[in-house]
Amino acid sequence: MFQSPEYSNILSLKLSDLLEDVGVNEEMVMKRRRVVMLVENIQTLTWRSLGNNSTAYYFGSQSEGTTTEGLNSDFDVLYVEYAYNVIQDWSEWKQNKINYLMIQDENVTPGYCFLQLLRSDEPLFETIIPDEYYIRDSKGRILLKNTFLTDYDDAVRHGPSNAVPGKEGYNDVDVVYGYPCNSLPQSALHSLDRQSIGRLPTSEMIRYAVSNGCFVVGASSKISTYPELEWRISTSLGERCFMFNLNTTQLHCYVLMKVILKSFLTPQRESVLSSYMCKTVVLNCIQNTDRNFWKKNNLFTCLTYCLLELQSYIRNENCPHFIIPENNLMAGHFTTEGKLVISRKISDIIQSDGRCLLRIRIDDIGNRLHFKFHTDRAIPHGMLTHRLINESITVFLFGNLAQTISTSELRILDYLRKMQVNLKQCILKLANYSVHGSRLEQFASRCLVPFLFSTIGSIMVSSNIRRNTAVQFQAPKWLSLGLSSDVTSGRLKLASVLYCIGDMDRAEFILRQTENRYNCDIVEPVCGCWRHPWSDWSAEFMRKFCEQNEDCINRITSFCVRFMQTEINCVPRELQYEMMRSTQNDMQHRSDMEKRWMDFAVIDSLPFLYFLQYKTYGHLQRHQDQQRALCNLVNTAVCGKNLGHRETALNLVGQCKEQENKLMEALQCYMLSLQLRGRNNAANFHICNLIRKICFSHVVV
């Protein structure tokens, strides 16, 4: 039955429908691509606003839309520094940049190169070794080593990359650093000119690939004679363009290849075969077949063809790179025994005529396929529906987008703190993209600028308070421009400023307005200060994200509120302690992410809202409203979902309890806070101060 053409067609249609159900459908593929490209632009504009000529590129499955929730694909990020310039012809040399000549000779593995240092003042070879990252070879050339990467906290080095392990609610991030080259190697140009039966790549794709050149990243071939000096040539931009132009059946085939790879071929041999090899197999197969071959009712035949091609590559130990065919992706990957084992497994998969697919657990594919052949049965318990999977993917994507916005704002503030960069100039650079940039750049600019508006307004008022001068007329304008950042954070900064200058009536009005805007059934908190679990979203929040596009981000998210030390006079006294949370010993126990914000005062919006209400109502002598606010603050600090700074919220509750002379309740709050974060926590100071109070109160008695 499995061998009949009729059944092959039926199986193909069932597989296509199944993959549509688990998120590999046109809507989700396009949504993944759009959101990941937005993340890419937000990160890039963040650096550009700070004067750093770097670009973030997101490649791989997440950006292509060729993944599922069960595959749990990581984010492949390439950071390219455009202060460097790799050339293949002297005409590409640029003054005042660090220039390297790409060398591909008999000593270099195909698809790789050496980088020879050139002078930056004139187009000549450099003759002096600058530092330990360079060596002089036997021909007198000054060559750059590929060990330029620096490891980061929480990162594991994988070849040229730093892999940041994902925590609960996050995928792994594989970070690679590279240098740009404006042209493709000659071997790539010859390859792109070859005839294609499947019309891949088209002339438009070729023009795009050629105009975008390539990158070099610090990695050598497994068979390299000079592993310290080889740099891998990456044509990822061109490849991404090709993937963006595949039809749905071709994408489905690639996803199935990866599912089979992960289910049957690499449980114990992760480093032998890779999803990139599967992609290369699919692209080569597409190029060598008529495009009418890749149709929905022929998916199973397409999959079988690709598996046979993969098996052929393994037997020959040669998987030719799609753009640089001389680069054998399988060189040095196999032992004789390993090659035979994997080849035999692929034969078993092919000969099963599809029955092996019933054993796949990823995304519950086996059970789903079985269910597809028994449509008279009810959906099995625990099997997510198409709608729920689409919702889950959408919230995951927009959650990452929101986290990127928050993290990028923090990166800018941290850079401003360290480098004393002019904030107005940073804002002007971002604002320029909102007018003259691409659609993606305009969106990225709109995401970041309002937060900086609020910050610059707050800094101005803080300076006025310190100097005991009248508030500058520009400050309220800046603060007003920051109100569109999200549901709450810009408004809470304004309310905090009004509270600190003693304008309690206007502060109360802003706080009441903000509370009315914060619909707990829709709005969710967002904090990008550290990679804490972000889950348990409300059904209405998920529905809003699924019904609307990324423009709804600022209408249903509530970012944490951050105050730099230059804003200290616009921060309530109780929150100022968070700027001095650490002893010298504590500072040695901060991760790279924590170093960015732990000298700031940072608090989630909802507890800050209730805290400001508590303080404001106290000044206005509205004690019933004050107690209501305190009750809300306690409930939020203890039970609130997705808080990034719960320990800070508990510290504020403790200080409120102290002000009400409920000292033991205050101590309990501080102890709960310390359970969440033992070091770098202002609760340590509060406890010492509280013990002094308790002892003093006993003496008085």
Per-residue DSSP letters for 232-291? EEE-HHHHHHHHHT--HHHHHHHHHHHHHIIIII-SS-TTTS-HHHHHHHHHHHHHTS-G
Q: What pLDDT is attached to residue 701?
A: 37
Contact assessment for residue 430 and residue 449, using Cβ atoms and an 8 Å cutoff: yes
The Cα 151–Cα 156 span in angstroms is: 7
The larger pLDDT score, comparing residue 371 to residue 142, is at 142
Which amino acid is it at 694? I
**pLDDT confidence bin for 160, thresholds 50/70/90:** very low
pLDDT digits (tens, 9 = 90+) for 136-149: 999 999 999 998 75
In a domain, 126, yes or no: yes
The greatest distance separating any two alpha carbons of the chain, rounded to the nearest whole angstrom, comes to 95
Looking only at the bridges linking them, the beta strands covering 601-603 and 214-217 are: unpaired
What pLDDT sits at residue 152?
A: 38
Interacting residues of 474 by C-beta distance below 8 A, sequence separation 6+ = 457, 460
Which pLDDT value is given to residue 156?
Answer: 36
pLDDT reported for residue 546? 81
**The two structure tokens encoding residue 246:** 């595949």
Angle between helices 365-372 and 5-21 (to 10 degrees): 120
Quickly list H helices, 329-438.
336-351, 365-372, 386-419, 423-436
Contact between residue 303 and residue 262 where contact means Cβ atoms under 8 Å apart: no
* 130 upstream amide cis, omega within 30 of 0: no
Residue 420: predicted pLDDT: 72
- How far is Cα 282 from Cα 304, in angstroms, rounded to an integer? 11
- The CB density around residue 680, as the number of other CB atoms within 10 Å, is 19
Q: Please give the Cα distance from 282 to 285 (Å, whole number).
A: 5
Over residues 163-188, mean pLDDT:
77
Asked if residue 569 is part of any domain, the answer here is no
For residues 472 and 485, give the distance between their C-alpha atoms in angstroms, rounded to a whole number.
22
Mean pLDDT across the chain, nearest whole number?
91
CA–CA gap between residue 686 and residue 673 (Å, rounded) = 11
Alpha-carbon distance of 231 to 551, in angstroms, equals 40
Report whether pLDDT(592) > 80: yes
pLDDT in tens, 238-260: 999 999 999 999 999 999 999 99
Parallel/antiparallel/unpaired status of strands 557-559 and 524-526: parallel
Cα 149 from chain centroid? 19
Taking the C-alpha atoms of residue 68 and residue 72, their distance in angstroms, rounded to an integer, is 7
Q: Are strands 142-144 and 54-59 parallel, antiparallel or unpaired?
A: unpaired
Angle at 346 between CA 343 and CA 348, to 5 degrees: 110
Sign of CA dihedral 612, 615, 619, 620: positive
Residue 374: pLDDT band with limits 50, 70, 90: confident
Question: In this predicted structure, which of 92-101, 124-133, 416-425, 652-661 has the lowest mean pLDDT?
Answer: 416-425
CA separation for the pair 500, 495 (Å, rounded): 9
Span of 298-307, 412-421, 552-561 with lowest mean pLDDT: 412-421
Give the pLDDT band of residue 491 (cuts 50, 70, 90): very high
Contact status, residue 654 vs residue 684, Cβ threshold 8 Å: no
Q: What is the mean pLDDT of residues 488-514?
A: 97
Asked whether residue 122 is domain-assigned, the answer is yes
Residue 3: pLDDT band with limits 50, 70, 90: low
Residue 61 predicted with pLDDT over 50: yes
Phi, psi of 447 (to 5 degrees): -70, -35
Res 157: pLDDT: 37
- The domain total for the chain is 1
Say what the pLDDT of residue 11 is: 96
320 contact partners, CB below 8 Å, separation of at least 6: 280, 284, 326, 327, 328, 329
- By CB neighbour count within 10 A (0-12 exposed, 13-18 middle, 19+ buried), where does 645 fall? buried
In a domain, 618, yes or no: no
648: CB partners within 8 A, 6+ apart: 575, 578, 602, 603, 604, 607, 673, 682
- The residue ranking higher by pLDDT, 418 or 264, is 264
Torsion of CA 679, 685, 686, 687, to 10 degrees: 80
Query: What pLDDT score does 549 carry?
Result: 80
Residue 178 domain-assigned (yes or no): yes
The residue segments making up the domain with residue 215 are 73-245
pLDDT for the residue 532: 72
Give the mean model confidence (pLDDT) for residues 673-686: 95
Q: Which residue has the higher pLDDT, 339 or 173?
A: 339
- What average pLDDT score do residues 295-305 get? 97
Provide the 10 A C-beta neighbour count for residue 18: 20
Residue 220 has what pLDDT?
A: 93
Looking at the predicted structure, is the pLDDT value of residue 602 above 60? Answer: yes
Q: Is 442 exposed, middle or buried (0-12, 13-18, 19+ CB in 10 A)?
A: middle
Let me know: does 520 contact 413? Beta carbons within 8 Å: no
> What is the predicted pLDDT for the residue at 1?
38
Q: Give the pairing type, strands 561-563 and 601-603.
A: antiparallel
Residues 604-660 pLDDT 10s: 999 999 999 999 999 999 999 999 999 999 999 999 989 999 999 999 999 999 999
Q: Give the count of alpha carbons within 13 A of 7, CB side only.
A: 8
Beta strands 112-117 and 98-103 are antiparallel
Non-local (6+) Cβ contacts of 375 within 8 A are: none
- 435-475 pLDDT tens trace: 999 999 999 999 999 999 999 999 999 999 999 998 888 89
Mean pLDDT of 40-57: 94
Q: Which residues pair with 558 in a beta bridge?
A: 525
* CA-angle at 689, arms to 685 and 692, nearest 5°: 145
In this prediction, residue 376 carries a pLDDT of 56
Q: Over the range 353-392, which residues count as b (16 or more CB within 10 Å of their CB) and which as e?
A: bbebbeebebbbbbebbebbeeeeeeeeeeebeeeebbbb
- Where does the pLDDT of residue 267 fall: very low under 50, low under 70, confident under 90, or very high at 90 and above? low
Higher pLDDT, 162 or 13: 13
Residue 357: pLDDT over 70: yes
What pLDDT shows up at residue 377? 62
What pLDDT, on the 0 to 100 scale, is given for residue 403? Answer: 92
pLDDT score recorded for residue 698: 60
**What's the full length of the chain, in residues?**
701
For the residues of 520-574, what is the DSSP string, one character each? TTT-EEE--SS--------HHHHHHHHHS-GGGHHHHEEEPEEE-GGGGGGS-HH
Cα-based angle 547, 545, 641 (whole degrees, multiple of 5): 145
**DSSP code of residue 486:** S
pLDDT value at 396 more than 80: yes
Q: Is residue 77 part of a domain?
A: yes
Q: Which residues pair with 81 in a beta bridge?
A: 54
Domain presence at residue 120: yes
Q: Is residue 95 part of a domain?
A: yes
